[in-house]
C-alpha cells in the first residue's frame, strides 16, 4: 500500500480494492457515504465481508456523542454478520469463507484485574466495535479473530445480526437478573423482543412495559407471548421478581422498583441512561436491588449463540440498504419499527 494513491497503485498501475462505508466524521451529524481503501488484516485479525449489520441504540449514543472518549471518524455498527475473506498471520482456528459474528466487545487487554478475574466485560483497556474501532456499517470490516463468534450456517445473516448485541446484552441481563418467574421488560425494542422469546422458552412470564399509549408495541409484545403489556407508569397485575430496563429513561428506575417484590432486582441494561430522579428509600427497602449490566464476555456469547437455535428465536427485522443507515438510525430514534433494524450492503 506504500505506493498506493487513492484507489490506484503507482507501482503496479492496478486498481486497489476498496470498500464502502457509512462514516461518522463529526459527532451529532449524519453518517457520510464514503469509498475508502480496503485494509488487510494484521496479525491476529480477520477481514469480514459484511452480510448484514444490526442497528443498535448504542449507535445512536455514539453518533450523539453521549459516550466518553469518542473516536471520530468512526464506522459505527457492532452487530456484524459476514464471511471471512482474508486472514492475518497467526490466525489458525478460523478460515476464509467461514461465517462469523462480530460483537460490541472488540478486544480486551487480557492482563488487567477484570480480565484475569473472568470479567473481561469490565476490562480496563477494552476496544469496542463501532465505537473505538471501525464497525460494520460497511461492505467489509477488520476484527480481532479472538473476538469473532463462528455462527454456522443456520439462519440468514439478517436474522442473526440482532443476536450479536440485542440478544447478547439481553442474555447477560437475564443472567444478572436471576431466576425469578415474573420478569418485567421496560422498553420493548430489539433486545426485549429477543428476551421475551428466551423467557417463553424458559417457561417464565413476560410483563412488557412501553411508552404510555404505545398500543402497537404492546400488541407486538403480546404476539411474542407477553402475559401482560401496558404503559411504563402502570403497575403490573402481579409483582415482578426481576425488572430489566432496556429504555434509556432514568425515570423508569423508581417505577421498576415499585413494581418488583421484596428482594426483587432491577437491572439497567443500557450503556447510557438519563438521570435517575430522586426517590423515597422505601422503594429500595426490603432488599430490592438496582444493578447495571455492562458489555459482554466471550463466554456469554458462546453460550447464548449455542443455545439460540434451540430456543427457536425469530427476530423481526426491518432491512435498510447500507447507504440508508441514517434513515435506519432516525427510524430507531423515533420508534418507527418493531423489533430490530438491520443494514445490508
- Binding window for Zn ion (CB under 5 A); candidates: 19-27, 69-77, 107-115, 299-307: 107-115
Q: Does 165 bind Zn ion (CB under 5 A)?
A: yes
Closer CB to Zn ion, 103 or 236, in the complex: 103
Task: Output the smallest distance, CB 77 to Zn ion, in A.
Answer: 9
Q: x/- site string to Zn ion, residues 109 to 138, per CB under 5 A? A: x--x--x-------x---------------
- Give the chain's largest Cα–Cα span: 74
- CA atoms of 274 and 268, how far apart (whole Å): 12
Least distance (Å) from Zn ion to the CB of residue 108?
Answer: 5
In the complex, what is the shortest distance from the CB of residue 231 to Zn ion, in angstroms, rounded to a whole number?
25
Nearest distance from C-beta of residue 34 to Zn ion, angstroms: 23
Select 136 or 236, whichever has its Cβ closest to Zn ion: 136
User: Is residue 108 at the binding interface for Zn ion, with CB under 5 A as the rule?
Assistant: yes
Of residues 18-37, those binding Zn ion (CB under 5 A): none
**Cβ at position 206, least distance to Zn ion in Å:** 21
Q: For the chain, list the strands marked E by DSSP.
A: 4-5, 8-9, 18-23, 32-37, 45-55, 80-87, 99-102, 105-107, 127-128, 140-144, 149-150, 182-186, 205-210, 228-231, 240-245, 260-268, 289-292, 317-321, 340-344
What span, in angstroms and rounded, lies between the C-alpha atoms of 308 and 303? Answer: 9
Q: Which is nearer to Zn ion, 123 or 325 (CB)?
A: 123
Handedness of CA 192, 194, 196, 199 (dihedral sign): negative
Nearer to Zn ion, 56 or 325 (CB): 56
Judged by CB, which is closer to Zn ion: 165, or 329?
Answer: 165
Cβ closest to Zn ion, residue 67 vs residue 109: 109
Q: Which is nearer to Zn ion, 6 or 110 (CB)?
A: 110
Helix (H) or strand (E) holding 116: helix 113-116
CB-wise, 77 or 180, nearer to Zn ion?
Answer: 77
- CA-to-CA distance for 128 and 89, rounded, in angstroms? 22
Looking up cell 409484545 gives 221
* Spatial CA neighbour of 292 closest among 316, 276, 307: 276
Task: Answer whether 219's CB lies under 8 Å from 191's CB.
Answer: no
Q: Does 199 bind Zn ion (CB under 5 A)?
A: no
Least Å distance between CB 327 and Zn ion? 19
d(CA 66, CA 185): 24
Q: What angle, rounded to 10 degrees, do the helices at 215-223 and 190-201 form?
A: 30
Closer to Zn ion by CB, 24 or 123: give it. Answer: 123
Distance CA 207, CA 195 (A): 11
Touching Zn ion, residues 48-77 (CB under 5 A): 56, 58
CB of 124 to Zn ion, least distance (A): 5
**Terminal-residue alpha carbon distance, the chain:** 25
| Least spacing, CB of residue 220 vs Zn ion, in Å | 20
Query: Contact 169/293 with Cβ under 8 angstroms?
Result: yes
- Using the rule CB under 5 A, give the single segment among 162-170, 216-224, 256-264, 336-344 that binds Zn ion: 162-170
Least Å from the CB of residue 110 to Zn ion: 6
Q: How many residues bind Zn ion (CB under 5 A)?
A: 8
What does the binding site for Zn ion look like in residue numbers (CB under 5 A)? 56, 58, 108-109, 112, 115, 123, 165
Amino acid at each position: 500500500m506504500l505506493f498506493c494513491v487513492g484507489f490506484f497503485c503507482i507501482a503496479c498501475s492496478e486498481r486497489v480494492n476498496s470498500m464502502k462505508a457509512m462514516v461518522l466524521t463529526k459527532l451529532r451529524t449524519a453518517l457520510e457515504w464514503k469509498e475508502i481503501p480496503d485494509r488487510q488484516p494484521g496479525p491476529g485479525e480477520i477481514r469480514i465481508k459484511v452480510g448484514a449489520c444490526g442497528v443498535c441504540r448504542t449507535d445512536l449514543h455514539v453518533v450523539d456523542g453521549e459516550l466518553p472518549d469518542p473516536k471520530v471518524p468512526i464506522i459505527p455498527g457492532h452487530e456484524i454478520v459476514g464471511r471471512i475473506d482474508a486472514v492475518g498471520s497467526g490466525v489458525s482456528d478460523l478460515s476464509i469463507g467461514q461465517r462469523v459474528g462480530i460483537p460490541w466487545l472488540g478486544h480486551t487487554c487480557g492482563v488487567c484485574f477484570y480480565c484475569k478475574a473472568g470479567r473481561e466485560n469490565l476490562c480496563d483497556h477494552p476496544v469496542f466495535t463501532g465505537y473505538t474501532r471501525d464497525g460494520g456499517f460497511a461492505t467489509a470490516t477488520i476484527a480481532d479473530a479472538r473476538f469473532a463468534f463462528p455462527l454456522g450456517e443456520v439462519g440468514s445473516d439478517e436474522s442473526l445480526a440482532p443476536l450479536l448485541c440485542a440478544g447478547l446484552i439481553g442474555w447477560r441481563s437475564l443472567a444478572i437478573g436471576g431466576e425469578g418467574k415474573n420478569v418485567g421488560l421496560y422498553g420493548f425494542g430489539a433486545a426485549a423482543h429477543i428476551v421475551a422469546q428466551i423467557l417463553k422458552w424458559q417457561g417464565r412470564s413476560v410483563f412488557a412495559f412501553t411508552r404510555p399509549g404505545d398500543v402497537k408495541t404492546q400488541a407486538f409484545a403480546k404476539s411474542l407471548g407477553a402475559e401482560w403489556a401496558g404503559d411504563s407508569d402502570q403497575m403490573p397485575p402481579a409483582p415482578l421478581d426481576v425488572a430489566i430496563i432496556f429504555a434509556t429513561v432514568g425515570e423508569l428506575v423508581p417505577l421498576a422498583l415499585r413494581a418488583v417484590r421484596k428482594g426483587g432486582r432491577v437491572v439497567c441494561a443500557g450503556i447510557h441512561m438519563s438521570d435517575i430522579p430522586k426517590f423515597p428509600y422505601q422503594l429500595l427497602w426490603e432488599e430490592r436491588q438496582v444493578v447495571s449490566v455492562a458489555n459482554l464476555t466471550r463466554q456469554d456469547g458462546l453460550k447464548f449463540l449455542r443455545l439460540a437455535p434451540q430456543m427457536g428465536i425469530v427476530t423481526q427485522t426491518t432491512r435498510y440498504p447500507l447507504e440508508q443507515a441514517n434513515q435506519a438510525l432516525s427510524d430507531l430514534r423515533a420508534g418507527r419499527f418493531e423489533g430490530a433494524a438491520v443494514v445490508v450492503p
